[in-house]
């Protein structure tokens, strides 16, 4: 990933638009915020053009995990965002359904 700083910035800004405590679908909501913001989507598209969609989306997932301080719950869900197909639920403590 060429510009992980730009991904960090995008995720950090998107997290400011999401209520706390963060919901289990926070990664999907970060992607929804990025795709819905007129200034953020072109940045995302430039990152994808430079590094590939998989690399950028993986970086978004990792950064969301790090910045929220949550843990992967190991539960994969279909995304509502059009930027990703699936996401892993995040939460506190051991996996719970």
Answer yes or no: is 96 within a domain: no
Q: What is the pLDDT of residue 54?
A: 96
In a domain? residue 13: yes
Residue at 97 is within a domain:
no
pLDDT confidence bin for 95, thresholds 50/70/90: low
Domain membership of residue 36 as a residue range: 4-91
Strand-strand pairing, 71-78 and 86-91: antiparallel
Query: What is this structure's pTM?
Result: 0.92
- Does residue 48 sit within a domain? yes
CB contact at 8 A, 35 and 84: no
C-alpha 74: how far from its chain's center? 16
pLDDT of residue 40: 98
Which single residue is written with the structure tokens 């995304």? Answer: 79
Tell me the per-residue pLDDT of 40-94, one tens digit each, with 9 for 90 and over: 999 999 999 999 999 999 999 999 999 999 999 999 999 999 999 999 999 997 6
pLDDT tens, position by position, 33-53: 999 999 999 999 999 999 999
Residue 4 has pLDDT above 90, yes or no: no
Burial class (CB in 10 A: 0-12, 13-18, 19+), 77: middle
Residue with tokens 């995302």: 44
User: How many structural domains is the chain composed of?
Assistant: 1
Q: Indicate whether 53 belongs to any domain.
A: yes
């Amino acid at each position: 990933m060429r510009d992980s700083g730009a991904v960090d910035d995008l995720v950090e800004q998107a997290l400011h638009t999401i209520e706390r405590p963060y919901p289990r679908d926070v990664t999907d909501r970060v992607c929804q915020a990025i795709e819905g913001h007129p200034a953020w989507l072109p940045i995302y598209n430039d990152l994808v053009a430079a590094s590939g969609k998989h690399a950028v989306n993986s970086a978004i997932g990792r950064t969301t995990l790090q910045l929220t301080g949550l843990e992967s719950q190991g539960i994969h869900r279909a995304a509502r965002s059009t930027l990703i197909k699936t996401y892993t639920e995040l939460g506190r403590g051991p996996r719970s359904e």
